[in-house]
Chains A and B, each alone.
Chain A
Amino acid sequence: MTGRVIVITSGKGGVGKTTTSANIGTALAKSGSSVVLVDTDIGLRNLDLLLGLENRIVYTLVDVVEERCKLKQALVKDKKNPNLCLLAAAQTRDKSAVSSEQLKSICEQLQEDFDFVLVDCPAGIEEGFKTAVSGASEAIVVTTPEMSAVRDADRIIGLLEAREEIKSYKLLVNRVRPNMIQSNDMMSVEDVCDILSSDLIGVIPEDTGIITSTNRGEPIVNVEDSPAGKAYINVARRIKGEEVPFMDINQPTGFAAFIDKIKKLFGIKSKQDNE
């Protein structure tokens, strides 16, 4: 068995790389695949927190690299889903503790046992990024509909394209607010895709439930009826090759939906249809 190694990266910090990793990983594991999440954000680890596994970590990626333990000893199994494992980063070291070659060999070892190896990349384009990307053959670039995040994503895509190992990359637009797009205060998802001229793998709406789920150490895909959770599950299905239509996040709700219906009755086009 040779699993797929996917790196989740963004360039800019705070756009939701770690949240995306945790949720896609959990969603893939729920669909039956075996998944290992590798946190390469050494010194600023958070993935364990999002999964609620921070109290179980004994050995870390650095311990594996420095041969203080075997790789399998360092894998922490998820509380709920036995298909999901975590290889945590060390909190007490920095990015220089693991080299590109070392991570590559670890990814190769993990590939043999797991369907998916998801590598959570640190922010930035320096050493940490280069290390994280080294083992991967696919990439998911996370961005938000903001100019700064889009420009950083552009930079990252340029770096990824320069690497031969990365066969394909997909764009994931996070924290989308339909209301703001409608009022022209936020770039639309289509705009982002146009600017970056790359394929979309998912659109995640802004969801306050993310904050609570992060604080509880419970990925939002495990929370029923959350828009972001559903979107992440769709992303996971697309990763596995399913054709899933994009959620119509532009669909207005409440009073705006009522107005739109009346407009349609009279044959008036709504704002986003014009665009």
Chain B
Amino acid sequence: MELNTRYIIDLTHAGTPADVVFELSNIIEKQEAANKRIWLKLGDITLNQSQLLSINSLINSINSTLSLIESQSQQTELAAATLGISTKDVEEELQEELSSLEAKDPVDAPSEQYIPMTEHIEEESKNKDNEDDDTDAVDVNNDTVNAEVIDNEKETAAVSDEKTEQTESALENSQDKSDVLDSSSKETCDGVNSENTAETTDKEIPAHNDFTALPAEPMTEEKEEEIQEQLDSIFDSETKLENILSDEKELSDMKNWPLTKEAEDNFEIPEEEMTDEDYEILQMNTQYHKQTVRSGQVIKSNGNVVIIGDCHPGCEIHAAGDITVWGILGGIAHAGCKGNTKARIRALTLNAIQLRIADSYARRPDHIKNIYVEKSNTFTPEEARNVNGSIVILKINDR
């Protein structure tokens, strides 16, 4: 893999950001730096995050990755750290790399891979406890460690093969299901993430595809310390990231991304524990109706009801358990009609004249005059539940 070759660009003489970009574009034109890991040596000029991002995308355009920046400006270092670019001294790093390469097979072993870290910080912190178990994953580059941790475990195929077989480790804890992402789901996650942070994804995807793990190497104390230091520096920068990023939504999306599944699970827990009534509903029989329920029609059930179709105003649905409408619910729905207060009503579009759950009832607000919802392809799925005798409607999107 060409990407394993590093390419050091010395721009210490550049006085302004414009100079840096100018020099860089000159180098890029020569195609010398294509498919390489770029180490950038900067002087005391200050580059902010967006400038770094544009430099980064410039470098990405020739299939290279910007993996290291040496700078005398603290602000530049900080900005680089938030982007997941390591900020070490080029000389030191060079020596370290050489020494570590000597320790291994000098010919076949590729040098370290770069994987940006920002996106994984939260997961990393979650899995931090597992880190000690994954000693075999720890390698020359600390970033590799992080990547290993994220995927819990990746068994390596022959290094020369340049492909990695990724197998999920057996689940140590079944509750950790959501943390274990196989490679495919990981990539879809990345895809989602790319909407938010297009720049970071650009370098992330090749990093995943080209990932090769190295033979195991016992972890020395020095390295452990070093890893810890680097992790700490990134955590610090993560906290600063909040101040730097102006778009709050983007930040929250980024933050939520690795947690989506877990957050979803957690959502219901603070409200109430599973009770006998909940289990009762789970054990009920479920009736399926694949029809449009029209005015005057009644569906009654001693269990749960699922309707694949619309429920027009004037119809009534009574169920001892849950009512789920895969369509527009416009009539009267009575869930838990035998008194089960944990029953729920959910529909793709909830426009019911009345919602009843157990002994409580709610009516549609008077200001809604149009009882027939315009049919469209966009829905706002909602769920109604009975919370202490009053009916609460939750947008399923919000969860």
Give A contacts to B, CB under 8 Å. Answer: 43-44, 49, 52, 54-58, 79, 91-92, 215-217
- Residues from chain A with a CB closer than 8 A to the CB of B361 are 58
Q: How far is the CA of A56 from the CA of B353 in the complex (A)?
A: 8
In the complex, whether B298 has a CB less than 8 A from a CB of chain A is yes
Within 8 A of A (CB), among B269-309: 295-298
From the candidates B298, B313, B364, B369, name the one contacting A92 in the complex (CB within 8 A): B298
From the candidates A43, A58, A215, name the one contacting B369 in the complex (CB within 8 A): A215
- Residues from chain B with a CB closer than 8 A to the CB of A43 are 296
In the complex, whether B63 has a CB less than 8 A from a CB of chain A is no
Contact B363 A56 (CB under 8 A): yes
For the residues of B in contact with A, the DSSP-based class is: loop
Contact B363 A92 (CB under 8 A): no
From the candidates A52, A56, A58, A91, name the one contacting B314 in the complex (CB within 8 A): A91
Closest 10 CB pairs of A and B: A55-B363, A92-B298, A55-B364, A91-B314, A55-B353, A91-B296, A216-B369, A92-B296, A92-B316, A54-B353
What are 14 A-B contacts with C-beta separation under 8 Å? A49-B371, A52-B366, A54-B313, A54-B353, A55-B354, A55-B366, A57-B354, A58-B354, A91-B314, A92-B296, A92-B316, A215-B369, A216-B369, A217-B369
B342-359 contact mask (Cβ, 8 Å, vs A): 1 or 0:
000000000001100000
Q: How far is the CA of A259 from the CA of B277 in the complex (A)?
A: 79
Q: How far is the CA of A56 from the CA of B314 in the complex (A)?
A: 13
Contact B296 A79 (CB under 8 A): no
- Residues from chain B with a CB closer than 8 A to the CB of A49 are 371
- Residues from chain B with a CB closer than 8 A to the CB of A216 are 369
Q: How many chain-B residues does the 8 Å CB contact rule pick out?
A: 17
For residue B334, give the distance in angstroms from its CB to the closest CB of chain A: 10
In the complex, residue of chain B having the shortest beta-carbon distance to the beta carbon of A58: B361
Within 8 A of A (CB), among B359-397: 361, 363-364, 366, 369-371
Q: With contacts A55-B354, A91-B295, A91-B296 known, is A79 near B366, CB below 8 A?
A: yes
- Residues from chain A with a CB closer than 8 A to the CB of B354 are 55, 57-58
Contact B353 A92 (CB under 8 A): no
**Quick one: which of B314, B315, B364, B371 has the most chain A CB within 10 A?**
B314
- Residues from chain B with a CB closer than 8 A to the CB of A217 are 369
For residue B299, give the distance in angstroms from its CB to the closest CB of chain A: 10
Contact B316 A54 (CB under 8 A): no
- Residues from chain B with a CB closer than 8 A to the CB of A92 are 296-298, 315-316
In the complex, residue of chain A having the shortest beta-carbon distance to the beta carbon of B298: A92
In the complex, residue of chain B having the shortest beta-carbon distance to the beta carbon of A215: B369
Q: How far is the CA of A58 from the CA of B297 in the complex (A)?
A: 16
Q: How far is the CA of A57 from the CA of B366 in the complex (A)?
A: 13
- Residues from chain A with a CB closer than 8 A to the CB of B314 are 91
Q: How far is the CA of A79 from the CA of B363 in the complex (A)?
A: 13
- Residues from chain B with a CB closer than 8 A to the CB of A44 are 296
For residue A55, give the distance in angstroms from its CB to the closest CB of chain B: 4
- Residues from chain B with a CB closer than 8 A to the CB of A58 are 354, 361
For residue B323, give the distance in angstroms from its CB to the closest CB of chain A: 16
For residue A122, give the distance in angstroms from its CB to the closest CB of chain B: 14
- Residues from chain A with a CB closer than 8 A to the CB of B316 are 91-92
Q: How far is the CA of A91 from the CA of B315 in the complex (A)?
A: 8
Contact A54 B366 (CB under 8 A): no
Q: How far is the CA of A44 from the CA of B295 in the complex (A)?
A: 9
Q: How far is the CA of A101 from the CA of B327 in the complex (A)?
A: 42
